[in-house]
Amino acid sequence: FNNLQNLGMCGHATIGLAVTLAHLGRIAPGRHKFETPVGVVEVTLHDANTASVVNVESYRLHKDVTVEVEGHGPVTGDVAWGGNWFFLVKDSPIALRPSEIRPLTDLTLRVRAALEKAGVTGSEGAWIDHIELFGPPEDPANQSRNFVLCPGGAYDRSPCGTGCSAKIACLAADGVLAPGRDWVQESVIGSTYRVSYQPGTGGGVVPTVTGQAFVTSEATLIFDRSDPYRSGIRP
């Protein structure tokens, strides 16, 4: 399983994939390589539930971009790549707690729309499909807390592996996080990733994201030959 095709570049999905393959007996603890649409990522499975992902090289494209957000006013953030394109807002205007998920979602959707209206993009006109808000952690042992809007409009229950990679790239560019030093990122629900980086070869950083996943169920799909919709519904 060194060549898994069509895996979207998603940090927590990659950690979950490694843990699931181990649960199925397909891989053992150790180093593995997965192919993704944005490049090869290396995964170290530490135990049944813990894995580290060495992500693709990440970098900040633009610093301190300000857009006018409908119903809110100006919002300033950085544009960075971490396997997906992100707009990272350093100080969230809304408290990062589960009770505020709806307002946080509404705000980030408006921020994304404001970026589109202003013509702010990633490299070569790429759509900035993830919006990431930051604030102080609830646990003083951690460095930060975030809320991440995903492309489909849902929020990320994890701290977001590619989002953490983009954040680390910004911290490195600002000179506030040294290579090899850990950064512990909380999500809006309190889950955490431990992230560090090494300098990349293209001017960015190569992040390592460590987190956990747990197998919660197994399912058996039954395709009855008499079921006209056994392969799904196609338009």
User: Which residues are marked as active site?
Assistant: 10, 160
- CA atoms within a 13 Å half-sphere pointing along the CA-CB vector of 66: 3
Q: How many helices (H) and strands (E) does the chain have?
A: 3, 11
Instruction: Residue count of the chain, please give it.
Output: 235
Q: Which two tokens stand for residue 83?
A: 């396997």
Q: How far, rounded to the nearest angstrom, does the alpha carbon of residue 155 sit from its chain's CA centroid?
A: 11
- Per DSSP, the three-state class of 154 is coil
Using alpha carbons only, give the angle 192, 133, 104 rounded to the nearest 5 degrees: 100
- Per DSSP, the three-state class of 228 is coil
Closest-CA residue to 34 (of 13, 58, 50): 13
Q: How far is CA 168 from CA 73, 120, 185, in A?
A: 27, 21, 10
The answer to whether 107 and 72 are in contact (CB under 8 A) is: yes
Three-state secondary structure readout of 62-111 = EEEEEEEECCCEEEEEEEEECCCEEEEECCCCCCCCHHHHHHHHHHHHHH
Supply φ then ψ for residue 14, to 5 degrees.
Answer: -70, -40
Q: Which two tokens stand for residue 30?
A: 């150790």
